[in-house]
Amino acid sequence: MSPIIRGYGLAAAAILVASTAAFSGPGAFLKGLTKSTSNAFVNHAPLNNLQEVETKLSMSTVDETIGTSTKLEDYVAARGGDRPIRKVLIANNGMAATKSILSMRQWAYMELGDEKAITFVAMATAEDLKANAEFIRLADSFVEVPAGKNANNYANVDVICKIAQEQGVDAVWPGWGHASENPKLPNSLDALGIKFIGPTGPVMSVLGDKIAANILAQTAKVPSIPWSGSFGGVDDGPLVAELTAEGTIPDDTFEMATCRSVEEAVEAAKKIGYEEGIMIKASEGGGGKGIRFVDNEDDLKNAYIQVSNEVVGSPIFLMQLCKNARHIEVQIVGDQHGNAVALNGRDCSTQRRFQKIFEEGPPTIVPPETFKKMERAAQRLTQNIGYQGAGTVEYLYNAASDSFFFLELNPRLQVEHPVTEGITGINMPATQLQVAMGIPLFKIPEVRKFYGKPDMYGDSSIDFLEEDYKPVDSHVIAARITAENPDEGFKPTSGTIERVKFQSTSNVWGYFSVGANGGIHEFADSQFGHLFAKGPTREHARRSLVLALKEIEVRGEIRTTVEYLVQLLETPAFKENTIDTSWLDGLIREKSVQVERPPHLVVLSAAVFKAFEHVKAGTDELKKSFT
């Protein structure tokens, strides 16, 4: 074994201390932290299959010294919790793992005065180890897991549970993607007596079904766009239902919203109408599969067969298309005591093939009184189903008619949650942690502060459905930094990264999942960075983000979208906030936004290419002369 110096590295140097309302950067926090340099790692041979996992899962040597201080236990008891969590397994990698460790460690230091009050165990594949992934360096220890696609590791519930049990963790933080929305994970952990930092398995299961989720939303009086479940209730009104004891929608109600044949789809379409267009969706579809748009009966019949063949066995439903829609989100958190809070929201309308590019908050396109209705509807849904943890209720919003419709409830923390942190001052991963420890929402200090309570550490109750939080007086815009090539249809790229040059300021901050001499491997998510700009207005935040993107420098083998993002931010439509969810795909289709290259660089590149071709031709001729 050889000792490895454990430092915070590039990501921690750039990360915003997200729960600090002033966004003065991480300097004060990081200066107060120390990191052990005595830890040594065991060199592991890569694990190649699940059978090896059963016998070879092993952990790096780690300083297991836990302070004798009872500050964490005292805090949890004082705030009304019942389950101190001292050791957490991070069942994720990349951006999610990096951000979670930084945020929860920052909370531990700022709240308890001890950044080591919570110990973090990471999972690491051979690819992440080779790429010098930042989250591995940030964790207190790591367990090497099988390499390759995520079904072997971060999405493998059996692997996660085995590690959690063997390492004696108190809880598992799932992040986003991978196994974060697999109800088998919370169910399996619960059977082992390990806390899942998120909703319960039954609730997650029902939310994962698009038909069931829409019925639950209608039951909570959340507006829904006309769909096949809009009929069949009292006076042919929207279907409603309460969850059964098993946490499911009653079968008869579920079937009334489902189109089990072409004939049933045709009848549902007649009730919805073809005027706006109709979406045919597989309830278990996703990632672009099991979805078609039609505007007449003949196309409907063909599309129904296509959808049923793409997602075999999935229930199918119909939904009216919402044209000129904005994608608006409400950040919700539910606790174990039946409380549900809405922490403002985000506008994520800049999307490329349903992938978010920019996120911003608050969603200024929505009038305050309408957005308040969105929040209250999201809270009712959260309370009705007994949701626990952080989640996001997503809506489609039509600015022209000032109407909104339920889209889905994501049962996890979103990638863009730092936008919410920026406008509320609430550390979201730390809030997840405190909810998991049984602390009521109205006793979480940052929540109390957001609601203007004079005593952050008081215990007076807050009626979140009646009381309002303090007005939000700032705007945050975020940009995802991805390893994609905009010249080739945003094709993901991989390779080494020598250096990321980025300097946080008082109003621009960011974090990255790669360190110096790191890289992006073929199984990694293409996003490796996230920048956030804050200002008193949307325009101030936009200009700050443009400047930050112009100054960032990424050196390595990968391509990035940084220059393209600058061009998008400078378009009149983005400046005037007149975009919708189809805006960016339209620009890409028309190729109306392109990264401009300096003329001298174009000329030089052309000359080099011509010289290369000349040499290559001469070399080929020379080779032929020897044959």
Active centre residues (catalytic): 412
H helix and E strand count, the chain: 23, 25
Residue 13 backbone class (left: φ over 0; alpha: ψ -120 to 50; beta: rest): alpha
Cα(250)–Cα(281) distance, integer angstroms: 21
**Beta strands per DSSP E along 475-572:** 475-482, 484-485, 491-492, 495-501, 508-512, 518-520, 527-535, 553-556
CA–centroid distance for 402 within its chain = 27
Would you give the DSSP letter of residue 157? H
Cα(472)–Cα(488) distance, integer angstroms: 40
Cα distances from 90 to residues 122, 141, 259, 293, 564, in angstroms, run 5, 11, 40, 39, 33
Cα(503)–Cα(11) distance, integer angstroms: 11
Would you give the DSSP letter of residue 338? S
Nearest to 548 by CA among 532, 564, 524: 532
Neighbours of 537 (CB within 10 A): 12
Give the 3-state DSSP-derived string for 348-406, with helices as H, strands as E and coil as C.
CCCEECCEECEEEECCCCCCHHHHHHHHHHHHHHHHHCCCCEEEEEEEEEECCCCEEEE
- What is the four-CA torsion angle of 532, 533, 537, 539, rounded to 10 degrees? -110
Is the four-CA dihedral 28, 31, 34, 37 of positive or negative sign? positive
Identify the H or E element spanning 164: helix 157-166
Give the 3-state DSSP-derived string for 254-309, with helices as H, strands as E and coil as C.
HHHCCCCCHHHHHHHHHHHCCCCCEEEEEEEEECCEEEEEECCHHHHHHHHHHHHH
Which class for 312: exposed (0-12), middle (13-18), buried (19 or more C-beta within 10 A)?
Answer: exposed
Cα(296)–Cα(293) distance, integer angstroms: 10
Neighbours of 4 (CB within 10 A): 12
Cα(370)–Cα(495) distance, integer angstroms: 46
